[in-house]
Chain A
Amino acid sequence: MAGLRRLLLDPFAVPFMARALVVVVLLGILGGVLGVHLLLRRKAFVTEALQHTVFPGVAVAFVAGQSLLVGAEVAAAVSVVLLHVLTRDDRVDTDSALALLVATFFALGVVVVSRSDSFQSSLTALLFGRILAVDARQIAETALLVVAGAGVLVALHKELLLRAFDPAGGAALGYPVRRLDLVLDLVVALAVVAAVRAVGTVLLVAFLVTPAAAARLWCRGVPAMMVGAAALTALCGWLGLAASYQASVHHGLRLAPGALVVVAITAAFLVIAAATRVRAALR
């Protein structure tokens, strides 16, 4: 038992590890609540595309030395609105437009970053984050964004649910459906900004899509799914970070912590998917 405790608890006695865990838990909360809404609205494709379109803004802010928060927020909001508009227009072949947008924006970001001195490490930091380099100030900023984002979603819970389930009924009741959609998109932008420094643009999708998908399979009722998704992220974050630390300190093996957490979340999803099949077969 002492051995297990050593494995799972000791790493977090180290300040930067504790901070990393706090960030993962925070991101898990927002990712869980938002992720369930995105799932109910079937927005996985747009979320997937978003990681690429948000990249240049993040890159520009990074290279210009400005606060990543501001640059990322602007880029995120712009690309979210752009995607929103593009996917609504029936005349545009959505797939092609998205591919074009994804390719162009991402290339733009790459070119911008390549002007910085440390191209490769800057690139990987922006794409995959630097979860172990999170400082107290970033935690405060992330906490603020998480509270704001999750707060909006909780406040609008019943309206968002109605819109997802019965948009015509919602519109008939007088709810501004398009504006509700925009609010959801903007919370996505908020989540991107909250997550980008810690886990990067590529891995943040995993925090939004996978935990909610796992919770959807296992839990009944929307609030339970949100709690389940957040709990899953927290648990896998804990295990993933601990494993990464142990591998590095005791076995000399460098395993990217952010990536390991995502792999853990995905593994948890696969286990839950299998368990759900078994549960259904046994009924």
Chain B
Amino acid sequence: MNGLADSLGSPFFQRALVEAVLVGVVAGAVGVHVLLRRLPFFVVAMSHATFPGVVIASVVGFNLFLGGSAFGLLVVLAVVALGASKVLDDATVIGVVLAGSFALGVLVLSARPSSSRDLSAFLVGSVLTVTRADLLTTAAVGAVLLAALAALHKELILGAFDPEGAAAAGYRTALLDTALLAIVTVALVSAVPAVGTLLAVALLTVPALAARLWVDRVVPAMVLAAAIGAASGIAGLCLSAAFGIAAGGAIALSASGAFVLSAAGARIRR
């Protein structure tokens, strides 16, 4: 475990720990809403859709969140426009658009000299290279997301549980839905430095799935999911240092491990 001992002393690792914890907490909490509103497919799809936006933003020097979210929005519009087709089902249209956008992202990145390294950083994260500025950004964005969730809490629950009732009560459900999708997309993009686009779905769904096995109410689930997310981040990083494996992958696997333990625990408790 020498790798681990050495790493703990390094400032890179310490920053990585903070980043992983921040991302784990935010993604975990947002993840509960992802499950409530049945959005796992959306998250998988969005992780492909935001990829070219994140890539182009990074190449051009633009803000990653804006770039990622903007492209995500573009993809949604394309899907809606094409989705009016009577012969192609929704999943096919989404598949076409996502595959195309993803290839676009790869294309843009391949034009740069350090392409392999950059590409893998975007895909599976490069948490060990985060700077203090990155940490501050993550913390700020995370705080905004959590604040938004807190402010809209009862409306989001109502919209998830009884959308027709919410509409009947006078809530603009379309706005609520859009707000939630925006929150999820931003959470996804904020997870990219830690675990990359392809693994962000792990932090946004698995800790929440695990938490739901223990508690039945939304707020405790959010707290537990946040804790599991943070713990996965820490465990993943330690495993990464100890065994020389990719940090992003280790973090995602730790989350899955937490789920498996929770599922086993649920069985035993019955």
Q: Which residues in A have some Cβ–Cβ distance to B below 8 Å?
A: 39, 42, 44-45, 47-49, 52, 93, 95-96, 98-100, 102-104, 106-111, 113-115, 119-121, 123-124, 127-128, 202-203, 205-206, 209-210, 213, 216-217, 253-256, 258-260, 262-263, 265-267, 269, 273
- B91 engages A45 (CB within 8 Å): yes
- B256 engages A42 (CB within 8 Å): no
Q: Which of B16-24, B101-109, B222-230 contacts the other chain?
A: B101-109
Which residues does chain B contribute within 8 Å of A99, judged by CB atoms?
Answer: 40-41, 43-44, 201, 205-206
Residue of A nearest to B115 (CB): A254
Tell me the bound Cα distance from A216 to B82 in angstroms: 14
**Chief secondary structure at chain B's binding surface:** helix
Pick from A48, A217, A259: contact of B107, CB under 8 Å: A259
- A255 engages B124 (CB within 8 Å): no
- A95 engages B38 (CB within 8 Å): yes
Which residues does chain B contribute within 8 Å of A254, judged by CB atoms?
Answer: 110-111, 115
- B209 engages A100 (CB within 8 Å): yes
Tell me the bound Cα distance from A183 to B222 in angstroms: 43
Pick from B88, B91, B107: contact of A216, CB under 8 Å: B88
Tell me the bound Cα distance from A94 to B80 in angstroms: 23
Which residues does chain A contribute within 8 Å of B123, judged by CB atoms?
Answer: 123, 127
Which residues does chain A contribute within 8 Å of B97, judged by CB atoms?
Answer: 266
Residue of A nearest to B94 (CB): A44
| Contact mask for chain B residues 116-147; partner A; CB cutoff 8 A; 1 contact, 0 none | 11011001100000000000000000000000
Known: A107-B199, A205-B95, A206-B99. A100 touches B107 (CB 8 A): no
Known: A120-B116, A216-B88. A95 touches B40 (CB 8 A): yes
Q: How far is the CB of A87 from chain B (nearest CB, A)?
A: 12
Pick from A48, A253, A255: contact of B44, CB under 8 Å: A48
Give 22 A-B contacts (CB < 8 Å), ordered by A residue.
A42-B89, A48-B94, A95-B40, A96-B40, A98-B41, A99-B43, A100-B259, A103-B205, A104-B253, A106-B202, A115-B244, A124-B115, A127-B123, A202-B102, A203-B103, A206-B103, A209-B99, A254-B110, A265-B100, A266-B96, A266-B97, A269-B96
- B209 engages A114 (CB within 8 Å): no
Tell me the bound Cα distance from A104 to B202 in angstroms: 7
Chain B interfacial residues counted at CB < 8 A: 54
Which residues does chain A contribute within 8 Å of B110, judged by CB atoms?
Answer: 254-256, 259
Which residues does chain A contribute within 8 Å of B44, judged by CB atoms?
Answer: 48-49, 98-99, 102
Q: How far is the CB of A218 from chain B (nearest CB, A)?
A: 10
Which residues does chain B contribute within 8 Å of A93, judged by CB atoms?
Answer: 38
Other A-B pairs beyond A42-B92, A106-B252, 12, CB < 8 Å? A48-B94, A93-B38, A99-B206, A103-B199, A111-B253, A114-B249, A115-B245, A123-B116, A123-B123, A128-B106, A206-B96, A217-B88
- B89 engages A44 (CB within 8 Å): yes
Pick from A107, A209, A256 the residue with the most CB of B within 10 Å: A107
B 243-270 contacts with A by CB, 8 A: 244-246, 248-250, 252-253, 255-256, 259
Q: How far is the CB of B225 from chain A (nearest CB, A)?
A: 13
**Chief secondary structure at chain A's binding surface:** helix
- A273 engages B246 (CB within 8 Å): no
Which residues does chain B contribute within 8 Å of A253, judged by CB atoms?
Answer: 111
- A104 engages B246 (CB within 8 Å): no
Tell me whether B35 is interfacial, beta carbon within 8 Å.
Answer: yes
- B256 engages A213 (CB within 8 Å): no
Closest 7 CB pairs of A and B: A266-B100, A110-B249, A114-B246, A107-B252, A103-B202, A262-B103, A99-B40
Known: A103-B206, A104-B252. A216 touches B87 (CB 8 A): yes
Tell me the bound Cα distance from A103 to B258 in angstroms: 13
Pick from A49, A103, A115 the residue with the most CB of B within 10 Å: A103
Residue of B nearest to A93 (CB): B38
Tell me the bound Cα distance from A114 to B117 in angstroms: 13
Which residues does chain B contribute within 8 Å of A127, judged by CB atoms?
Answer: 123
Q: How far is the CB of A76 from chain B (nearest CB, A)?
A: 18
Which residues does chain B contribute within 8 Å of A255, judged by CB atoms?
Answer: 107, 110-111
Pick from B103, B110, B124 the residue with the most CB of A within 10 Å: B103
Which residues does chain B contribute within 8 Å of A42, judged by CB atoms?
Answer: 89, 91-92
Q: How far is the CB of A79 from chain B (nearest CB, A)?
A: 15
- B95 engages A120 (CB within 8 Å): no
Tell me whether B49 is interfacial, beta carbon within 8 Å.
Answer: no
Known: A96-B209, A108-B253, A123-B124. A213 touches B92 (CB 8 A): yes
- A47 engages B120 (CB within 8 Å): no
Tell me the bound Cα distance from A209 to B97 in angstroms: 10
